[in-house]
C-alpha cells in the first residue's frame, strides 16, 4: 500500500499546476496576485511540500479565480 500523505501531495501538486495552466498565469504572476512566494509555488508543483497551508491554498486559488472547493472536484 502507498503512503496516503504522498497521494495527497501528488493530488495537490497536480491540481495546482492544472489550475494555474488553465488560468494562463505564470508562477511569477500567481505569486504577485496571491502573495505566496514563487519558490513556494514551485515547491508545491514539484511535490517538495507535502502539507501546504490551507491559507496559502486559498490565496492561490482565489488569485486564479477559484474557490477552495475547486481542489475537491475531479479535473
Q: Which domains does the chain show, CATH number per domain?
A: 4-67 (1.10.260.40)
Higher pLDDT, 8 or 43: 43
Task: Report how far residue 70's alpha carbon sits from residue 47's, in angstroms, rounded to the nearest whole number.
Answer: 19
Residue the block writes with cell 492544472: 18
Render pLDDT for 24-57 as a digit per residue (tens, 0 to 9).
999 999 999 999 999 999 999 998 987 888 899 9
**DSSP secondary structure, the chain, as one string:** ---HHHHHHHHHHHHHHHHHHHHT--HHHHHHHH---HHHHHHHHTT--SS--HHHHHHHHHHTT--GGGGGS--
* pLDDT score, position 14: 87
More confidently predicted of 72 and 44: 44
**Of 61 and 7, more confident:** 61
- What local confidence, expressed as pLDDT, does residue 60 receive? 95
Amino acid at each position: 500500500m502507498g503512503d496516503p500523505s504522498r497521494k495527497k501531495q501528488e493530488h495537490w501538486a497536480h491540481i495546482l499546476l492544472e489550475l494555474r495552466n488553465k488560468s494562463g498565469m505564470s508562477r511569477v504572476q500567481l505569486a504577485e496576485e496571491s502573495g505566496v512566494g514563487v519558490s513556494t509555488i514551485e515547491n508545491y508543483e514539484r511535490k517538495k511540500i507535502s502539507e501546504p497551508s490551507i491559507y496559502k491554498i486559498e490565496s492561490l486559488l482565489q488569485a486564479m479565480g477559484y474557490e477552495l472547493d475547486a481542489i475537491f472536484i475531479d479535473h
